[in-house]
Chains A and B, each alone.
Chain A
Amino acid sequence: MPGLEDLYREIILDHYRNPRNRGELETPPALRVEGFNPLCGDEIVLYLDFDADGGVADIRISGQGCSISQSSASMMSAAVKGKSVVEIDDLTRAFKAMMSIHENTLEGAETTEAIDAPEVKLGDLEALRGVVKFPVRIKCATLAWNTLAQGIEEASA
């Protein structure tokens, strides 16, 4: 049975208590994009400054949510700030692969390695791996990433 320490790793609690890149950026030039988790009422607002090539030059986060969604957003912001579109895309795919549930995970087996995840170092984000053992919380962890993807899509449209 997964315990609380699988979910609430120390590094997650650190990002929850001391969130990175919290705040707002002036719009425009920044793009403002909102994400909601309709099941629990969590909401996240991302402010994104893009560089000339479409990479994320700067990022700020506001909104409210649980420790998992807040810390995931904080870690995400630290991971993507200053990265190119391609690097962010790789990170996003690697993170989502880590978050994907496979049938054997649902039956209680250990998490399987993601099948087509790019070769990317997830760093602090690895701490969120335990979330897959708590399926209802996966949406909390992916909210910031889905919102980022939406922002990048809007910016390139």
Chain B
Amino acid sequence: MVISLDPIDGTAMKAQFPLLSRDVHGKPIVYLDSAATSQKPLAVLDAMDDYYRTINSNVHRGVYMIAEEATNRMEIARALLRDFLGARSSSEIIFTKNATEALNLVALGWGRANLVAGDVVVLSHMEHHANIVPWHMLVAEIGIELRWIPLDNEGRLDLTDLDTLLNGAKVLSVTAMSNVLGTINPVRTLTDAARKAGAISIIDGCQSVPHSATNVQELGADFVAFSGHKMCGPTGIGVLYGREELLEAMPPFLGGGEMIRDVRLDGFTTNDLPWKFEAGTPPIAEIIGLGAAVEWLNGVGMDNIRAHEIALTDYTISTLHERFGDRIRIHGPSSPAERGGVFSFDFDGLHPHDISQVLDQHAVCVRAGHHCAKPLMKLLGIGATARASVYVYNDTADIDALADALDATGAFFTL
């Protein structure tokens, strides 16, 4: 086994997450589904609770004190996200209801205004449905053409023909990290190639932003979309980072209150960025909760989180291989440096539903299914996988519990 330095004590970390102290079926919970959603630290729960208890009011409207305070806290959250992402201005941080809406905002908002029949959009074989379906909608609506970056046999992007794929393309939209394979993609290489080809680049950061330091300027991306609930924040809040020039030139996505400067009988004028893209009352408590999550993550340190997960990835891969040998197959790259803590696996030829059902009896929570990536599952030649995924609060004891429960699963079905 490789011993890596781990700056985070997972056991001490767990104490900050109230849910992780509960039992399931009479056993302490082992939560290994953070790629689906993360648990929430007390700091986030308290921030949201405090908003509702002390300053609940609508933002950007009231002139009374608590309304000003609510507006301030929401805009402080935006500034926290600006700094967290290394964006140049708060105008570049758009709040959406989730990452899916953020990706739709770009695909449909930018796409409808800038794409015509025959224009090319380049995606990859490892995309989540949220970065596929909006483009399929534009195929139907406008007649754009989709091209796909293939994968190599370890589940990494095969960039051999990247320049050919990007030749004449208007958009490159890819994930920074696969939610199935764990593969971390070379984002800077991709965005450089896109820029050279005259295409804009969109990055799905759902699996990368919660787990490692992100600087949108170093990434060279025009847009980055991610969700709040996978990074210790609440559900119902996502973020779209967009380069200001591009956002300025885009038409609004949804119309209504907040996004307007003036409305007349014969038309309207849009509000300034970022509010131009935030029609209606925003999810205020969720934005404040996400701001608290960012502060909390900053306190732990994103580089520490990445180091912790590399150590845990090392431990997970070696433990599962040592204990189960050929009985287990973990998809994706074998090197922890090339991947995040997402482990899709086949075990004993058992169906993922059956695996996760037995694991649940041992209080081990994993995901089973196609992970909203059906084109990838088809490429892998499988209908579904079981997936364990780790975060800042997991430790080696969780992985040992997974291995013990897998042992029991194998025994149950081979009797």
Give the interface of A toward B (CB within 8 A): 1, 3-4, 7-8, 13, 39-43, 64-68, 70, 134, 137, 140
Q: Is there an interface contact between B358 and A137, defined as CB atoms closer than 8 Å?
A: no
- Interface residue? B10 (CB, 8 A): no
Q: From known contacts A4-B412, A40-B369, A43-B383, infer whether A68 and B353 are also in contact, taking CB-CB under 8 Å.
A: yes
Q: From known contacts A4-B357, A66-B353, A134-B357, infer whether A40 and B413 are also in contact, taking CB-CB under 8 Å.
A: no
Which A residues are CB-close (under 8 A) to B260?
A: none
- Interface residue? B374 (CB, 8 A): yes
- Give the 9 A-B CB pairs with smallest separation, nearest first: A66-B351, A66-B353, A41-B383, A41-B370, A41-B384, A40-B369, A67-B354, A64-B383, A66-B354
Q: How far is the CB of A137 from chain B (nearest CB, A)?
A: 7
Which A residues are CB-close (under 8 A) to B350?
A: 67
Interface string of B376-393 (1 = CB under 8 A from A): 010000011000000000
- Interface residue? B365 (CB, 8 A): no
Q: How far is the CB of A3 from chain B (nearest CB, A)?
A: 7
Q: Which residue of B lies closest to A10 (CB)?
A: B415
Which A residues are CB-close (under 8 A) to B22?
A: none
Which A residues are CB-close (under 8 A) to B413?
A: 13, 67
Q: Which residue of A lies closest to B384 (CB)?
A: A41
How many residues on the B side are at the interface (Cβ–Cβ under 8 A)?
19
In Å, the complex CA distance between A140 and B353 comes to 10
- Interface residue? B61 (CB, 8 A): no
Q: Can you give 11 A-B contacts (C-beta < 8 A)?
A: A3-B361, A13-B415, A41-B369, A41-B377, A41-B384, A42-B353, A42-B383, A66-B354, A67-B351, A70-B351, A134-B357
In Å, the complex CA distance between A41 and B384 comes to 6
Q: How far is the CB of B246 from chain A (nearest CB, A)?
A: 35
In Å, the complex CA distance between A1 and B384 comes to 28
Q: Is there an interface contact between A41 and B374, defined as CB atoms closer than 8 Å?
A: yes
Which B residues are CB-close (under 8 A) to A39?
A: 369
Q: How far is the CB of B408 from chain A (nearest CB, A)?
A: 10
Q: How far is the CB of A108 from chain B (nearest CB, A)?
A: 14
- Interface residue? B53 (CB, 8 A): no
Q: How far is the CB of A103 from chain B (nearest CB, A)?
A: 23
Q: Which residue of A lies closest to B26 (CB)?
A: A1
Interface string of B398-415 (1 = CB under 8 A from A): 000000000000001101
Most buried by A among B350, B357, B412, B413: B357
Q: Is there an interface contact between A40 and B370, defined as CB atoms closer than 8 Å?
A: yes
Which B residues are CB-close (under 8 A) to A3?
A: 361
Q: From known contacts A40-B384, A41-B370, A41-B377, infer whether A4 and B361 are also in contact, taking CB-CB under 8 Å.
A: yes
In Å, the complex CA distance between A64 and B381 comes to 12
Q: Is there an interface contact between A1 and B370, defined as CB atoms closer than 8 Å?
A: no
Which B residues are CB-close (under 8 A) to A40?
A: 352-353, 368-370, 383-384
Q: Is there an interface contact between A137 and B353, defined as CB atoms closer than 8 Å?
A: yes
Q: How far is the CB of B355 from chain A (nearest CB, A)?
A: 9
Which A residues are CB-close (under 8 A) to B370?
A: 40-41
- Interface residue? B25 (CB, 8 A): yes
Q: Which residue of A lies closest to B378 (CB)?
A: A41
Q: Which residue of A lies closest to B350 (CB)?
A: A67
Query: Within B144-197, which residues are at the interface with A (CB < 8 Å)?
Result: none
Q: How far is the CB of B278 from chain A (nearest CB, A)?
A: 32
Q: How far is the CB of A8 from chain B (nearest CB, A)?
A: 7
Query: Within B302-359, which residues are at the interface with A (CB < 8 Å)?
Result: 350-354, 357-358
Q: How far is the CB of A42 from chain B (nearest CB, A)?
A: 7
In Å, the complex CA distance between A44 and B368 comes to 18
Q: How far is the CB of B256 from chain A (nearest CB, A)?
A: 32
Q: Which residue of B lies closest to A42 (CB)?
A: B383
Which B residues are CB-close (under 8 A) to A67?
A: 350-351, 353-354, 413
Which B residues are CB-close (under 8 A) to A42?
A: 353, 383-384
In Å, the complex CA distance between A137 and B356 comes to 12
In Å, the complex CA distance between A8 and B361 comes to 13
Q: Is there an interface contact between B412 and A65, defined as CB atoms closer than 8 Å?
A: no
Q: Is there an interface contact between A137 and B361, defined as CB atoms closer than 8 Å?
A: no
Most buried by A among B354, B368, B374: B354
In Å, the complex CA distance between A3 and B25 comes to 9
Q: How far is the CB of B340 from chain A (nearest CB, A)?
A: 23
In Å, the complex CA distance between A13 and B354 comes to 11
Which A residues are CB-close (under 8 A) to B361?
A: 3-4
Q: Which residue of B lies closest to A64 (CB)?
A: B383
In Å, the complex CA distance between A4 and B408 comes to 12
Which B residues are CB-close (under 8 A) to A1?
A: 25
Which B residues are CB-close (under 8 A) to A13?
A: 413, 415
In Å, the complex CA distance between A67 and B351 comes to 7
In Å, the complex CA distance between A155 and B352 comes to 34
In Å, the complex CA distance between A39 and B357 comes to 15
Which B residues are CB-close (under 8 A) to A70?
A: 351
Q: Which residue of B lies closest to A40 (CB)?
A: B369
